[in-house]
């Protein structure tokens, strides 16, 4: 598991730890890890040209001390001092003593053009808003140069706590972060600017407290995957009901059923007008044309994909919500959702909106949901008293229970932005709910497998390809 903590938690932990170690020790630990990471990026430190963009805070201090370490190993290091009267004194002195030099920002672009590596130490967790003008031209020069850009703790200009990017920001190839991942490194849009992440242990762990964010890794997912036992029959493995599709959109029914069948459900019951199309593709499906409450016993329902917005669709959603099993509501099902109705359910509910659907539920603009994903997903979970999976390039899963970390899915890929891929996710996740995973686990494991399937399919893919690759993703996690 990767854990993420916000700035307040990091500062509190740093305060506790600093009281127990010699002054400056933490910055030296950070700088040592940073210099080692730069060494790995460069391959050969001796003779490399390194530029340190040094802001006025401790982030600049880290970068200058790391620059000093690289200079001692034979790199030619130039620091660009963004606030020359407030540069970290100890860091600058160490760099100069190691043979480095310092220049004014106006001379920055010329040295950056020739650099092999640029260290972004403009701002870290103390940064507010986007880059200021003097920094913007340096960040642009770094981006245009052939240099590798290594961000110190965070790409400067991004919001550490939320992942928002409110102005210009550094676009890094690698971010070396200290003590714990910051939410902004895991959540888009900021996460998209961080490049590859590397965590340096500076001893904060014992003081950090509960995480705000979690990102499952292979081993975590493997431990959560349901496994059929010797005694399992199809009911023990879980029967999932799918109420999806319409005369107009029968494909959504096929895709949701495909996702469910590939994810280990003991059986899939399909209810709706898409039965013929479903059976043509998946003859093993238990199809009925009546209403959900006549369909027979299921351990979880999926309702919404391709349902349309008709009185019949509303009745279907209402009936499913009346059931006493976990319900996943997606797509058209989300249009007709009343928070009180969802809150009043006796079994868990899982909502799986994309940004546009989340915006409609919240009464926000879609762009605001995209920009403030963490706030959006938490607000929805609280309002509906439900688990919410907010789809996107970094899919988030929030739980309505207080203090539960938000899960961030690390396996997303742009190839998943393809028609019908959400329908597959709903069936896949419904199958995990029917296997009695807690909704938060079902949602995060579902998102993980879904993303991994798309990655394993490699390259352009259709939603059915994603469904067909789920078993391979399952095996990959288990191997």
Ligand X SMILES: NC(=O)C1=CN([C@@H]2O[C@H](COP(=O)(O)OP(=O)(O)OC[C@H]3O[C@@H](n4cnc5c(N)ncnc54)[C@H](OP(=O)(O)O)[C@@H]3O)[C@@H](O)[C@H]2O)[C@@H](O)CC1
Known binding-site residues equal 58-62, 120, 124-130, 153, 156, 252, 306, 354, 391-395, 422-423
Residues tagged in the binding site annotation for K(+):
59, 120, 156
- 369, 355 in Cβ contact below 8 A? yes
Query: Would you say 151 or 261 has its CB closer to K ion?
Result: 151
Q: Is 56 in the site for ligand X (CB under 6 A)?
A: yes
Cis peptide before 309 (omega within 30 of 0): no
Site for K ion, rule CB under 5 A: 120, 151-152, 156
Residue number with CB closer to ligand X (125 or 434): 125
CB of 351 vs ligand X, minimal distance in Å: 35
Two structure tokens written together for 458: 């490699």
Nearest residue to K ion on Cβ basis: 156
Query: In this complex, which beta carbon is closest to ligand X, that of residue 86 or of residue 343?
Result: 86
Specify the residue, 169 or 215, whose C-beta has the smaller distance to ligand X.
169
Token representation of residue 219: 């081993």
Nearest to 201 by CA among 23, 3, 20: 3
Tell me which of 19, 22, 23, 128 binds ligand X, using CB under 6 A: 128
Identify whether 189 is preceded by a cis peptide bond (ω within 30 of 0): yes
Give all strands (DSSP E) within 324-450, no chain letters: 327-329, 349-351, 387-390, 396-398, 406-408
Position 194 contacts ligand X (CB under 6 A): no
* Residue 120 touches ligand X, criterion: CB under 6 A: no
7 touches ligand X (CB under 6 A) = no
Shortest distance, position 205 Cβ to ligand X, whole Å: 14
Which one, 13 or 158, has the nearer CB to K ion? 158
Query: Any bridge partners for residue 407, and if so which?
Result: 214, 397
Alpha-carbon distance 357 to 15, whole Å?
Answer: 42
Residue 120 binds which entry of ligand X, K ion, none, CB below 5-8 Å type-dependent: K ion
Task: Give me the phi and psi of 356, to 5 degrees please.
Answer: -65, -45
Candidates 52-60, 141-149, 333-341, 359-367: pick the segment binding ligand X (CB under 6 A).
52-60
Rounded to a whole number of angstroms, the minimum distance from the CB of residue 302 to K ion is: 43
Q: How many residues does the chain have?
A: 479
- Which partner from the list ligand X, K ion, none does 164 bind, CB cut-off 5 to 8 Å by kind? none
Task: Kindly state the smallest distance separating residue 343's Cβ from K ion, in Å.
Answer: 42
Tell me the number of residues near ligand X by CB under 6 A. 27
Q: Considering CB distances under 5 to 8 angstroms, the limit depending on partner class, which of ligand X, K ion, none binds residue 57?
A: ligand X
3-state secondary structure of 80: strand
Cα distances (angstroms) measured from residue 232 to each of 228, 257, 337: 6, 21, 35
For residue 124, state whether it binds ligand X (rule: CB under 6 A). Answer: yes
Give residue 273's region: left, alpha or beta (phi > 0; psi -120 to 50).
Answer: alpha
DSSP line for 148-183: EEEEESS-TTB-TTT--B-S-----SEEEEESSB-H
Which one of 68, 139, 161, 178 is in contact with ligand X (CB under 6 A)?
Answer: 178
- 3-class SS of residue 99: coil
Q: Residue numbers of the site for ligand X (CB under 6 A)?
A: 14, 18, 26-27, 30, 55-60, 62, 122-129, 131-132, 135, 152-153, 178, 202
């Amino acid at each position: 598991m990767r854990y993420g903590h916000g700035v307040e938690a990091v500062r509190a932990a740093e305060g506790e730890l600093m009281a127990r170690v010699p002054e400056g020790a933490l910055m030296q630990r950070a700088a040592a890890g940073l210099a080692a990471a730069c060494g790995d990026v460069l391959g050969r430190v001796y003779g490399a040209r390194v530029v340190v963009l040094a802001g006025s805070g401790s982030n600049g201090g880290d970068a200058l001390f790391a620059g000093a370490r690289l200079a001692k190993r034979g790199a030619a290091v130039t620091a660009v001092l963004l606030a020359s009267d407030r540069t970290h004194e100890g860091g600058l002195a160490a760099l100069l003593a190691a043979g480095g030099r310092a220049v004014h920002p106006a001379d920055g672009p010329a040295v950056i053009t020739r650099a092999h590596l640029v260290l972004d130490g403009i701002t870290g967790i103390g940064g507010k808003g986007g880059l200021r003008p003097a920094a913007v031209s340096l960040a642009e020069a770094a981006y245009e140069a052939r240099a590798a850009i290594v961000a110190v703790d965070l790409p400067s200009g991004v919001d550490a706590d939320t992942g928002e990017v409110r102005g210009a920001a550094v676009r890094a190839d690698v971010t070396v972060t200290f003590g714990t991942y910051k939410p902004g490194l895991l959540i888009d849009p900021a996460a998209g600017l961080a490049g590859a992440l590397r965590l340096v242990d500076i001893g904060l762990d014992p003081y950090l407290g509960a995480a705000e964010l979690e990102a499952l890794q292979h081993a975590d997912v493997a431990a959560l995957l349901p496994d059929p036992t010797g005694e399992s029959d199809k009911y023990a493995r879980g029967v999932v009901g799918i109420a999806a599709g319409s005369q107009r959109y029968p494909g959504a029914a096929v895709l949701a059923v495909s996702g469910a069948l590939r994810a280990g459900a003991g059986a899939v019951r399909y209810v709706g007008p898409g039965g013929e199309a479903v059976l043509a593709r998946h003859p093993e499906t238990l199809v009925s044309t009546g209403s959900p409450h006549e369909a027979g016993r299921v351990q979880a329902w999926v309702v919404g994909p391709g349902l349309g917005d008709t009185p019949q669709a509303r009745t279907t959603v209402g009936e499913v919500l009346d059931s006493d099993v976990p319900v996943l509501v997606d797509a058209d099902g989300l249009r007709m959702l009343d928070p009180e109705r969802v809150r009043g359910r006796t079994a868990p509910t899982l909502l799986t909106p994309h940004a546009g659907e989340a915006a409609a539920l919240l009464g926000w603009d879609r762009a605001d949901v995209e920009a403030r994903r963490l706030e959006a997903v938490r607000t929805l979970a609280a309002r509906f008293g439900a688990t919410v999976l907010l789809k996107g390039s970094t899919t988030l899963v929030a739980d309505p229970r207080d203090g539960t970390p938000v899960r961030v899915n690390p396996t997303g890929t742009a190839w998943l932005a393809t028609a019908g891929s959400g329908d597959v996710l709903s069936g896949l996740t419904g199958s995990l709910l029917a296997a009695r995973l807690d909704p938060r686990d079902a949602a995060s494991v579902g998102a993980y497998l879904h993303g991994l399937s798309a990655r394993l399919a490699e390259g352009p893919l259709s939603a059915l390809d994603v469904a067909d690759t789920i078993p391979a993703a399952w095996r990959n996690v288990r191997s």
